[in-house]
Amino acid sequence: MALRLSDPLDHLAATFRRFAERECRGSSPLYEALALTTADDAELRSIAGAAPAGQPVPNLFFAAVHYLLLAGPGDRLAEFYPSLTPSPRPPDEAFPSFRAFCFDRRPAIESLLRTGRVQTNEVGRCAYLYPTFALVAEWSRRPLVIIELGASAGLNLMWDQYRYEYEGDASCGPSDATVVIRSAFRGDRRPRLPERAPAVVGRVGVDLVPIDVRDEDQTSWLRALVWPEHRERAALLASALALAQRTPPRVVRGDALACLPDLLREARRDAAVCVTHTHTLNQMTEGRRAALTAVLSEASRDLPLYRLSAEWLTGIHPLVELTSWAGANVTTRRLAFSDPHGRWIEWLGDRTAARPFE
């Protein structure tokens, strides 16, 4: 008989355990330990339950605590956070301090849970965007227009301004770039990695609550979303923010489904239009996901359209897919599995893959 979880707090217990075992293990010992102990603590889960529906609760809950610690690291709990001390205490000893901090700062945490969103602007994911956008440019023989859904601060819209170093393989992108993304390929297959990025003639993002790259409080929230052990991710975020602050990318405030038709109509018809989203669909209902597909299918009648998605709805690892339309024909290709933060890529496609519908 299947286990039925009737109480919302019971659902949260399962959610925290899944987060610990599926996402944190091997990546964040601190969050793994805290998630497992929070799963067994109904009072703590009652605080986490202030998060709105549709948000990944463990990510949001731990980000709220991290945000408060970054703003005032004097609490004893900071001693366990590698982001706040060079010599953190053992993660398996953190829970008593964590629990005490959460109850001491409960009103502030619940306020952040109600108003904040998990909108991690993971620049490392550009490691698989680069070869995928290059593939679209090769197939279409056109410059690119990029429309990103759930763009946060829009840092991944600037993917062509970054340098890429793939361990044991090629380096590409501007040699003088101030943002350098390092990744590695697993397995035997490799994509084409042109030395220069394809031409981009338009770029825009859409987000319910865009992050202003020049607002210190908003960028501090982005920093809090980075897990405490991930110092390289934090440094990469800081360098991308510094670049974006010179010329902030355009990110439209609004609902993706409401804004997308207008953004598609604005796109240049002589370009290949790439609608991209990474780790976004988990915050959408099934109905909204279907509506998004319908919007794209309708728009594909009038312009060369591609959909680049990197999502982790099922399976062991996130999956990178590329969908293209030609009249009534639709092709979706599984291009790669990846680390959630882009640290490694297992390319599935053939380096000499034919253009769609050839």
Residue 291 forms part of a structural domain: yes
- pLDDT for 120: 87
CB neighbour class for 30 (10 Å; exposed up to 12, middle 13-18, buried from 19):
buried
Residue 260 lies in a domain: yes
Token pair, residue 296, equals 């794209």
Closest C-alpha among 241, 128, 130 to residue 179: 241
| pLDDT computed for residue 328 by the predictor | 79
Residue 191 shares a structural domain with residue 296: yes
Of the residues 62, 86, 115, which one is the last residue of a structural domain?
115
**Phi and psi (nearest 5°) for 50?**
-70, -10
Q: Give the chain's domain count.
A: 2
Is residue 45 included in any domain, yes or no?
yes
pLDDT digits (tens, 9 = 90+) for 205-257: 999 999 999 999 999 999 999 999 999 999 999 999 999 999 999 999 999 99
208 within domain boundaries: yes
- Its pTM stands at 0.91
Residue 51 belongs to some domain of the structure: yes
For 60, 207, 229, 263, 275, the CA distances from 251, given in Å and listed in that order, are 22, 7, 29, 11, 14
Which range marks the domain in which residue 335 is found? Answer: 123-214+245-347
Residue 235 belongs to some domain of the structure: no
280 and 341 co-located in one domain: yes
Separation between Cα atoms, residue 342 and residue 319, nearest integer Å: 11
**Do strands 305-311 and 319-326 pair parallel, antiparallel, or not at all (unpaired)?**
antiparallel
Task: Give the pLDDT score at 10.
Answer: 82
In angstroms, the first-to-last Cα distance of the chain is: 49
**Cα within 13 Å of Cα(141), Cβ side:** 2
Residue 356's pLDDT is: 54
State whether 69 and 145 are in the same domain.
no
What pLDDT does 349 receive?
A: 77
What's the pLDDT tens digit per position in 283-297?
Answer: 899 999 999 999 999
Instruction: Examine the fold and report which residue of 115, 134, 150 is the final residue of a domain before the chain moves on.
Output: 115
Instruction: Answer whether 128's CB lies under 8 Å from 342's CB.
Output: yes
In a shared domain, residues 262 and 296: yes
* Residue numbers in the chain where pLDDT is lower than 50: 1-6, 352, 357-358
Residues 274 and 336 in one domain: yes
The DSSP symbol for 286 reads H
Q: What is the pLDDT of residue 168?
A: 86
Q: Note whether 156 and 125 are within 8 A (CB).
A: yes
3-state secondary structure 100-143: HHHHHCHHHHHHHHHHCCCCCCCHHHHHHHHHHHHHHHHHHCCC
Residues 131 and 57 grouped into a single domain: no
Do 263 and 150 belong together in one domain?
yes
d(CA 214, CA 251): 13
Which of 93, 115, 137 finishes a domain?
A: 115
Between CA 297 and CA 257 the distance in angstroms is: 13
